[in-house]
Structure 1
Amino acid sequence: MTSLAALTALCPPPAAVPPAPDWSQVEDTLGMDLPQDYKELITRYGPGQFCGFITLYQPHAPSEWADLTGPMPARLRAQIEEVRQAARHPWQLPHSPENLFAMGVTGNGDYLFWVTQPADTPDAWTIAVNEALRAPWFTYNGSLTDFLAGVLSGTTSVPMFPRDLLGSGPAFTPSTLRSSTPVAGARTAVSTRAIRDWANANGYDLPERGRIPIEIIEAWKQENPS
């Protein structure tokens, strides 16, 4: 049984879901490929919450707070080290912030990240969970779908998650908000062709694929405020 089959047997998806995004376009926008299990998971479940607690970021979500293609992943990556250094006793990070890409959040403000190593093998990415960008961190050596199946079956215990998370059993509640359709030529807050062209024209050493560093995104915003 595949991880997705195990998850859907444990926690049935909605009978009807919004159309899946154009994954090629999403990956072009992000400048990186995404794990296949994530794409299948979003296609099967659509937007919503697991156990009224875990929300996965969606491409082109109506709110930037849950938009995989919006500013949150880059913003959180930049804030991880800022929060750590601001602490009286900085803690050790289990992964470099540059290797973390946020793709989910909980009702308690815990963040779910992909550990994007190896960068060119997204199906090998593992999971890290963090409590509001502070210590502690929890790492899971498996895919996102494996992680969800483990959490919802009770076989994977995440210390920062509520003990009564499964008190009413595993369930998925669809969101009533619909993802927004990207408009051709519209600017996005994460990586775009415009940002890459600007960076290359201004002397930045930026490869054709891969995440755009937050400092380049911020520099582009300063030059293009409108």
Structure 2
Amino acid sequence: MISLAALTALCPPPAVVPPAPDWPRVEDTLGMGLPQDYKELITTYGPGRFCGFITLYQPHAPSEWADLTGPMPARLRGQIEEVRQAARHPWQLPHSPEDLFAVGVTGNGDYLFWVTRPVGTPDEWTVAVNEALRAPWFTYNGSLTEFLVSVLSGTTSVPMFPKDLLDLAPAFTPSPLESGSPAAVARTPASTRVIRDWASAKGYDLPERGRIPIEIIEAWKQENPN
């Protein structure tokens, strides 16, 4: 695809990447087809970060925080309206939560979503970005690969992204887990007990039982990115 060629020219992929996922199995797990450009992106780049900032979710990733086939996409979809309604002045949503499927996250806790319309035609899906499940929202009328090309080339400016994102040349940094580092180990999802203990130490008013508010989860993730 032209957009992938443009992205690899702008931001070269690693020389060595993990084997491509079993895409039919991935799509069967999700119960839906995936955009062809996403499958080519993951096959070409593997896990890692664009500009040290944008991380795409991977199928069957070792950490639930980055697992496309894990609980995070559905969990985030369910929390969008919850966070909005909890606000003193709820904001208008540009897309129905049912139409959003999380596909990535940034170093600042912004989420990247596919807008899964039209249903059943994933190659026509567009991209939405929001700030930690709150307003503001930004919608890009194109594929995920086209979004990356546009952002990393400086053509598109996403309001919630850092102003200095492109101060250095665009680059892709493979995750240590897949880079062959002997010290790399598979990361396991943090337990709720770990997050509760951290929140208590930080002075958050968190009940011993029940769902941990997304604000606290996001704060924990910011302080514990690895």
TM bin (shorter chain): 0.7 to 0.9
Partner of 2:148: 148
Q: Deviations over 1:10-41 (max 9, x none)?
A: 00000000000000000000000000000000
Partner of 1:23: 23
Partner of 1:59: 59
Partner of 2:97: 97
Q: Tell me how far apart the structure 2 counterparts of residues 176 and 30 of structure 1 sit (CA, whole Å).
A: 26
Q: Tell me how far apart the structure 2 counterparts of residues 169 and 119 of structure 1 sit (CA, whole Å).
A: 37
Q: Tell me how far apart the structure 2 counterparts of residues 119 and 42 of structure 1 sit (CA, whole Å).
A: 22
Q: Secondary structure at the match of 2:123?
A: helix
Q: Tell me how far apart the structure 2 counterparts of residues 76 and 139 of structure 1 sit (CA, whole Å).
A: 17
Partner of 2:139: 139
- How does 1:2-81 map onto structure 2 within 5 Å? 2-81=2-81
Q: Secondary structure at the match of 2:161?
A: coil
> How many residues align structurally?
179
Partner of 1:119: 119
Q: Deviations over 1:131-163 (max 9, x none)?
A: 000000000000000000001000010000000
Give the deviation of 1:168 after TM superposition: 1.0
Q: Secondary structure at the match of 2:130?
A: strand
Give the deviation of 1:177 after TM superposition: 1.5
Q: Tell me how far apart the structure 2 counterparts of residues 119 and 57 of structure 1 sit (CA, whole Å).
A: 21
Q: Secondary structure at the match of 2:111?
A: strand
Give the deviation of 1:55 after TM superposition: 0.1
Q: Tell me how far apart the structure 1 counterparts of residues 104 and 144 of structure 2 sit (CA, whole Å).
A: 10
Partner of 2:85: 85
Q: Secondary structure at the match of 1:111?
A: strand
Q: Deviations over 1:68-89 (max 9, x none)?
A: 0000000000000000000000
Q: Tell me how far apart the structure 1 counterparts of residues 169 and 75 of structure 2 sit (CA, whole Å).
A: 33
Percent same amino acid at aligned positions?
87
Give the deviation of 1:169 after TM superposition: 1.1
Q: Secondary structure at the match of 2:75?
A: helix
Q: Secondary structure at the match of 1:98?
A: helix
| Matching residue's letter, 2:117 | Q
| Matching residue's letter, 1:13 | P
Q: Tell me how far apart the structure 1 counterparts of residues 100 and 49 of structure 2 sit (CA, whole Å).
A: 22
Q: Tell me how far apart the structure 2 counterparts of residues 156 and 121 of structure 1 sit (CA, whole Å).
A: 25
Q: Secondary structure at the match of 1:26?
A: helix
What is the aligned-residue RMSD (CA, Å)? 1.1
| Matching residue's letter, 1:148 | L
- Unpaired segments ≥5 residues, structure 1: 179-226
Q: Deviations over 1:27-70 (max 9, x none)?
A: 00000000000000000000000000000000000100000000
Q: Secondary structure at the match of 1:177?
A: helix
| Matching residue's letter, 2:40 | E
Kept after mapping to 2: 8 A contact 1:62/1:177? no
- Unpaired segments ≥5 residues, structure 2: 179-226
Kept after mapping to 2: 8 A contact 1:84/1:91? yes
Give the ranges of 4+ consecutive aligned residues of structure 1 lying more than 4 Å apart after TM superposition: none
The alignment's TM-score, normalised by the length of structure 1, stands at: 0.78
Give the deviation of 1:4 after TM superposition: 0.1
